[in-house]
Amino acid sequence: MEKRNVFVLIIIVLFSISCEKENIVEVFKTHKWNNHPAFQYDNSILLNSFSVDSSYMVISGTDFFSKVGDVANLGGYDSIFEDDFIKQMNIAIKPVNRKIPITSQITVTYKETGSSAAQVNFISTANYGSAASYSTTLKMEEVDPTFSGFNFERAAWNDCIAINENGQVLIPYYSRSNEVVQLRLLLVNTQQTGSSMLPTEILDTKIIKIEDEYEYHVNYLQSSNEQFFVTTDSKTYRIDTEGNLTDKFDDFHLYDMVRRNDTLYAFGYDFTLGQNEFLHSTNNGKIWNKTSTSEFEIAYLNLTTIEDKTIGYWRSQIWQVMFSDSGYSVVELDNDGLAGEIITSITAYKNKVYVTTRSGLFYRNLSNLFEIKEAGSN
C-alpha cells in the first residue's frame, strides 16, 4: 500500500513539474504591429483615419468618432495613448457603416433610415465628432424628390462618397420614378466659412444623370485634384468641376488610383481582354495608357501615400508600390501582428503609423514601416 502511495506521489510531482515547465516555456509573443488597447469590443470596428499634418488625427468607427491632437488643438492631448483618445459621438450623424471620406478641410457622413429621412452631413474636419450644431445637413429627398436610396452597395473598400481638392462632394444614389430605377450622382459645392467653429456652407447642388442602359451600381468612386472618376458595372466616367461627363471609357473598370507628380497610376480590369490591367495617364485621366497586366492581389490594392511613397493594402497585407511609365514593381512589407485582419486605412501621425481594421487599431513606429516581410511568414 505504501509503495502504491509513493508511486502516486511520484506521478503527481512529475505532472506538477511538467506543468511548471510548460508555464516557463510559454512566452507571450510580441508582434511588430501592436494592438491599441483603446479600440476593442464595441469600439473595434474602424473604417477610416486621417491626419492633418502633426496637428491632429481623426479615426471613424461605425458609431463613434475619435480625435487626438497636440496641446494647442485639443487642450492638453499631445500623444496617442489610451487615455489621450477623445471618444465622441454625434447622434445626428450616426450610424455609419461605410467608409466615409475625410480631408483636411471637410468630412462628409450620411444617415439613411428610409428615403424621406436620408441626409448627408458636412462637417469641418477640425470639429469632427463635435456637437451636431457644427454640421450642415442636406436632405436628399428635398434635393431630388425621386431619391430612392444611396448607391453604396458596391463601395465596400473605397470611400462611399468622394471629395475633390475644391471641396466639391460627389454622392451616388438611386432615383426611382414610375417604377424605373436609374443611377444618379449629386454634385455639391461647399465652402468653408473661415472658422472651424462654424458650419460648412453649401453653395449649390447639381444632379448628374447616368443615361447609359443597365448602369445601376457604383463600383468605384474617387477624386484626383479637381476631377472625379466613377466606375459603374461596365463603364468608367470622368467628371469635371461643372458636373459634366467629359470622358466615358467602355473598355476598362478602375479599381483604385494614386497620383505621383503629374501622373495618375491605376489598376483596373479590361472588359475586352477579360483581365486585370495596370494603367497610367499624364493628362489627368483624359487618356489612359495600358502598359502591363497586374496580378490578382495587386490589382485590388487600396492605394495611399505615406512618407512620399505609395503604399498598397489588401485584406491583412501591405505593399510598397513603385511606378514607372513602363510598369510597376511591388515589395511586400512586414505585417506581423495583422494576420487575419481586414485593413481599412493606413495613416501616419507624428512618429507612428496607424492601421485601422474591422477589429481594432494597430500601430508601429513610422521608421520601421518599410521593413520587408520575411519569406514564409503569414
Confidence of residue 194 (pLDDT cuts 50, 70, 90): low
Confidence of residue 367 (pLDDT cuts 50, 70, 90): very high
Burial 288-316 (b: 16+ CB within 10 A, else e): beebeebeeebbbbbbbebeeebbbbbbb
Instruction: Please name which of 308, 293, 307 lies closest in space to residue 350, comparing C-alpha atoms.
Output: 307
Neighbouring residues of 37: CB distance < 8 A, sequence distance ≥ 6: 82
Pick from 15-29, 156-170, 329-343: least confident: 15-29
Confidence of residue 64 (pLDDT cuts 50, 70, 90): confident
Interatomic CA distance for residues 273 and 79, integer angstroms: 50
State the first-to-last Cα distance of the chain, in angstroms, to the nearest integer. Answer: 55
What average pLDDT does this structure show over 25-41? Answer: 76
User: Does residue 72 register a pLDDT over 50?
Assistant: no
What average pLDDT does this structure show over 320-324? Answer: 93
User: Does residue 298 register a pLDDT over 70?
Assistant: yes
Q: What is the pLDDT of residue 177?
A: 87
Q: What is the pLDDT of residue 85?
A: 56
Using alpha carbons, list the distances in angstroms from residue 233 to 30, 183, 274, 341: 44, 11, 14, 28
pLDDT tens-place string over residues 108-131: 989 887 667 899 989 888 766 554
Altogether, the residues listed in the chain come to a count of 378
User: Does residue 3 register a pLDDT over 60?
Assistant: no
**Structure-model confidence comparison of residues 351 and 207, the more confident one:** 207
User: Does residue 378 register a pLDDT over 80?
Assistant: no
**Structure-model confidence comparison of residues 244 and 136, the more confident one:** 244
* pLDDT-above-70 percentage for the chain: 80
Q: What is the pLDDT of residue 294?
A: 81
What average pLDDT does this structure show over 84-100? Answer: 63
What average pLDDT does this structure show over 101-110? Answer: 89
State the chain's mean pLDDT as an integer: 83
pLDDT tens-place string over residues 206-220: 999 988 877 788 989
Pick from 105-114, 215-224, 309-318: least confident: 105-114
Confidence of residue 63 (pLDDT cuts 50, 70, 90): confident
Interatomic CA distance for residues 23 and 327, integer angstroms: 52
* Cell digits of residue 344: 481599412
pLDDT tens-place string over residues 251-265: 888 989 999 989 999
Q: What is the pLDDT of residue 62?
A: 82
Confidence of residue 14 (pLDDT cuts 50, 70, 90): low
What average pLDDT does this structure show over 134-162? Answer: 87
Would you tell me how many other CB atoms lie within 10 Å of the CB of residue 369?
A: 21
Coil/strand/helix, residue 153: coil
Confidence of residue 18 (pLDDT cuts 50, 70, 90): low
* pLDDT-above-90 percentage for the chain: 48
